[in-house]
Amino acid sequence: METLVTSDIYLVSALLSKGAEIKTPINTNDPRHFKFTIIGERIDEMKKDWVDGIIEGNLVEFSRILKNMKQLLHETGE
């Protein structure tokens, strides 16, 4: 099981769409840069694929998760 901490909601959405899980609660110490802890298998490999622009997956699922992530940020930031 690998772990990644990041504030990049696009990367988080991509990893979640590939089967990773988000650990709660979200670190909101800095309201401008929330930190997400992602856990799962092959996290480092998927992050490298994301950075290299070669990650593959279901774009509809990615879009749905990204929308939910943005809503979560908005609700948490209030």
Alpha-carbon distance 31 to 47, whole Å? 24
Low-confidence spans in the chain with pLDDT less than 70: 77-78
pLDDT at 77: 63
| Residues spanned by the domain of 65 | 2-42+49-77
Tokens at 53, concatenated: 């622009």
Alpha-carbon distance 4 to 7, whole Å? 10
Q: Between the CA of residue 27 and those of 13, 30, 42, 44, what are the distances in Å? A: 17, 8, 23, 21
Q: Is 35 helix (H, G, I), strand (E, B) or coil?
A: strand
Helix or strand holding residue 40 (H, E):
strand 35-40
Number of domains in the chain: 1
Report cis status (omega within 30 of 0) of the bond before 31.
Answer: no
Q: What is the pTM of this model?
A: 0.87
pLDDT at 53: 95
pLDDT at 31: 75
